[in-house]
Structure 1
Amino acid sequence: MISLRRTPILARSVAAGLGLLWSTMAHAQSASLDPSGSGVIVSAVDWVQGTLLGAVATSLAVIAVGATGLGMLTGRIDWRRGATVILGCFIVFGAAAIVAGIKSAATGPGL
């Protein structure tokens, strides 16, 4: 068994990103096949998405990146962990664009 502590941080980030992309691809495929009566669930998921990507989340991400950057500059946080925080913010806020790119690549040009 491979310990997660010993695997490189990039490999863990890539594995987590691929898992996230795989789950969002499955969700994106099922999004066009909404069964009748699922409007309540869809609106609840839209509310959660709005909460996670809204103004409060954006402010918290700015504070997190600023605090991480300050910690990296003063030597209190190592650069690898700081890069993970910043990369995580890019993935969270860029998830819609990432999924749209994967969806367009999966359907092919002109379809």
Structure 2
Amino acid sequence: MRTISSLVAALALLLPAAAQARSTDPQGSGPIVNALTWMQGTLLGNVATAVAVMAVAAVGFMMLTGRLNWRFGATVIVGCFVLFGAASIVSGIQTAAG
């Protein structure tokens, strides 16, 4: 489970970079921007939603049966919120900064 939370954290760091790259694309960055856009679509698509629902259900069941620490379970659930809300978080930061 620890690898899942570190994967979610790493992917959450990639999404703001993809959102930032769309506003000002440097010359020659077309393939990189396309790859990040594909990754964002994959991470926020139907597969990611299904995986997140199963992860939250499994973590919730493990927390209720006493097999998982509540603090670690909460970090998995917060990680899902950050993953799916990354675009809104970045746009809010950009609005506040600019």
Q: Which has the higher contact order (CA 8 A, sep 6+)?
A: 2
Decide: shared fold, TM above 0.5: yes
Aligned partner of 1:83: which letter? A
Q: Which amino acid aligns with 2:45?
A: G
Higher helix proportion, which one?
2
Unaligned runs of 5+ in 1: 1-15
The reply on whether 1:46 has 2:6 as its aligned counterpart is no
Sequence identity percentage: 61
Query: How far apart in 1 are the matches of 2:42 and 2:16?
Result: 18
Count of residues in correspondence between the two structures: 85
The residue identity in structure 1 corresponding to 2:40 is Q
Structure 2 spans left out of the alignment, 5+ residues: 1-8
2:6 alignment partner in structure 1 = none
1:95 correspondence with 2:80 = no
Deviant stretches of 4+, over 3 Å? none
Name 1:77's counterpart in structure 2.
Answer: 68
Structure-1 residue corresponding to 2:24? 33
Larger Rg: 1
Q: What CA distance in whole angstroms lies between the structure 1 residues aligned with 2:37 and 2:43?
A: 10
* Partner Cα distance (1:35, 1:67) in 2: 42
Deviations 1:60-106 (A, max 9, x none): 00000001101111111111111011011111111001001000000
Q: Which residue of 1 aligns with 2:16?
A: 24
Normalised by the length of structure 2, the TM-score is 0.75
The amino acid of 2:89's aligned partner reads: I
